[in-house]
Structure 1
Amino acid sequence: MSKVKKVLLIIISVVLVLALATIGVAGNYFYNLALNPKTSKEKVFGTKDKSVEASNVAVSNWITDKSGYKDAFIDSIDDLQLHGYEIINTNPSKTWVITVHGYMGQGKEMEGYANAFYNMGYNVLVPDLRGHGKSEGKYIGMGWDDRKDILSWIDYILQKDSDANIVLHGVSMGGGTVMMTSGEDLPGNVKAIIEDCGYTSVWDEFSYQLDSLFGLPEFPVLQSASLVSKIRAGYWLQDASAIEQLAKSKTPMLFIHGDKDTFVPYSMLDKVYNSANVEKEKLVVEGAAHAQASKTNPQLYWGTISKFIKNYIAN
């Protein structure tokens, strides 16, 4: 081999090593930014106002101060201790609503939803998703690993009452979680699922946010971050698809989205809705930004949900 070829080979090798190292750094950076629960909301969303909008932070303390909750605990299939708020209605009911919080949120921030379901006469279970609130976990599941945790919470309820009726409800990442749960082998006790502003897939959402927040293309950051996610969290970003799970669903579903949502774009609504071959309804809340549908038009929001549940559960 000539000296020129050797020099070229060395240069190419160095460039490849540097490129791979750069991609690896970018992947680790994005993983830590997006999937590390210790990352501050403001660092992810840019401003405090945007972080509040994205996680739908509670404005009162109904769950912790007024609901009469008790702490509930289960073990996940990978041996994490998970926490939830269990709220038994003072009027005896066989119906439970599991209402699931959003990205970088926690169960107690779902107080408005929990209170509304309680006032409808239902028992309520509000989990802290893995890595959030009082639940253990070193990474954010983005609904994918969380779907298995919701299965465990369903079992928790059925151990109390094998004849219980169960409704799943989730907002933002919680919406993604219940959609991903819908494709699992659910017991017949799960009568209805309500998703509010969930995403088509984690890949789609991260790709959208890379462009929206940072002006970056998905390649090569997401490919690298997906590898890091597989190594550190145990799942590929490509695995976490609400669309693929919905295609397997057998449970009636209500899909809700605000038409002014720019965090999980409104355009995702039709994609998830069309993926589900079940009895289904769609609610578009005009003027609602991300996770704000229940506040923008509460009468429409809760009226639609109440009617939807009653279609499948007799009081």
Structure 2
Amino acid sequence: MSIKFLWRSLLSVTAIAGSLYIIACLFLYFQQARFIFFPRATIDTTPAAFNLQYQEVWLPVKTASSKVEKIHSWWIPASTPSNRVLLYLHGNGINIGANVAHASRFHRMGFSVLLPDYRGYGLSQGNFPSESQVYQDAQVAWNYLVKEKKIPANQIFIYGHSLGGAVAIDLAVKQPKAAGLIVESSFTSVADMVNHQQIYRIFPIKLLLHQRFDSIDKVGSLAMPVLFIHGTADWQVPASMSQQLYEAAPQPKQIFLVPKAGHNNTAEVAGSQYFQVVQQFVKQVENENVAQRRKGAKGY
């Protein structure tokens, strides 16, 4: 076997490897949303499974091409007269049907809950979701509460779980008059999540990434009370990311770390303490709002 043959073989292998690497980079660039969003069309559970009264709500969204698509949502009114309203922004998996159980916990705390599905999820119309699209969908849900249902912004709490936490942070920055923000089991950014999953480190992530969900750069602009919740045994999103978000956020802020809880079971593991922490946070916000109104009425 000649040196020339070995050299040609090495060049061929290098060329093939380089081509495969470029193809992989292009695939990650154009298909990265498929690694982030995992929607399902079929809804397995409705609020009726928890004996909750609810209404089907369809929210129109105008696309860049002026086409109108509709978001499917559930409006679950509080059982007794209440000013508490929660905009519930779910994570990247399945659809609103997988979030009814947790939404019912907030309902038991006295909230009316709006639970929307992003476009591409459940019965909502639209193509496969993207970062800009879910931000727009959250804004449409907010507008429905404020403009259609005439709910004052300072009575609306924004809640987001996992990827929904990033959507909630983005919306909260844009809507500083909201009552408060609750972010559960969420991450600092997609780039940090990619670095956490070491398999992707061989790729030039900074160049390829366009679905960023860069919460760590946004959270410092929050102008409302925020509560971060995270399970310390979360293997999908490390609790250290909520700690980083907490440290970057301005006051007033709180963090509730649940020992031994994973990504989706903080409320189950924490039990009554989960309700106590959330209720205390909400009550503090409400008391502060009352104090501000009284101060304004006295003309201070």
In which range does the TM-score fall when normalised by the shorter chain?
A: 0.7 to 0.9
The answer (yes or no) to whether the contact 1:102–1:172 under 8 Å persists in 2 is yes
The answer (yes or no) to whether the contact 1:27–1:222 under 8 Å persists in 2 is no
The answer (yes or no) to whether the contact 2:55–2:76 under 8 Å persists in 1 is yes
Cα drift, residue 120 of structure 1:
2.1
Residue identity over aligned pairs, in percent, reads 22
* Count of matched residue positions in the alignment of Structure 1 and Structure 2: 271
Taking structure 2 as the reference length, what is the TM-score of the superposition? 0.79
Alignment of 1:218-257 (within 5 A): 218-220=201-203, 222=205, 226=209, 236-238=210-212, 240-257=213-230
| Alignment-derived partner of residue 24 in structure 1 | 26
The answer (yes or no) to whether the contact 2:33–2:211 under 8 Å persists in 1 is no
Compared with structure 1, are the counterparts of its residues 206 and 63 closer, same or farther at alpha carbon in structure 2 (3 Å cutoff)? farther
Taking structure 1 as the reference length, what is the TM-score of the superposition? 0.75
1:101 aligns with one of 84, 90, 96: 90
Return the structure number with greater relative CO, CA threshold 8 A, min gap 6: 1
5+ unaligned residues in a row in structure 1: which ranges? 1-6, 40-56, 227-235
Larger radius of gyration: 2
Alignment of 1:138-287 (within 5 A): 138-141=127-130, 145-159=133-147, 160-163=149-152, 165-184=155-174, 186=175, 188=177, 190-209=178-197, 211=198, 216-220=199-203, 222=205, 226=209, 236-238=210-212, 240-287=213-260
Amino acid at match of 1:304: V
Q: Does 1:73 align with 2:27?
A: no
| Alignment-derived partner of residue 298 in structure 2 | none
Cα drift, residue 139 of structure 1:
2.7
Cα drift, residue 83 of structure 1:
1.3
Stretches of 4+ aligned residues off by more than 6 angstroms:
13-16
Q: Does 1:117 align with 2:106?
A: yes
Determine the C-alpha separation between the residues in 2 that align with 1:266 and 1:187.
Answer: 26
| Alignment-derived partner of residue 231 in structure 1 | none
Cα drift, residue 146 of structure 1:
2.2
Determine the C-alpha separation between the residues in 2 that align with 1:280 and 1:145.
Answer: 28
Superposed CA deviations along residues 211-268 of structure 1, whole A, max 9, x for unmatched, are 2xxxx13342645753xxxxxxxxx123x20111111110110001111111001111
**Aligned-residue RMSD, C-alpha:** 3.1
Amino acid at match of 1:259: T
Cα drift, residue 162 of structure 1:
4.2
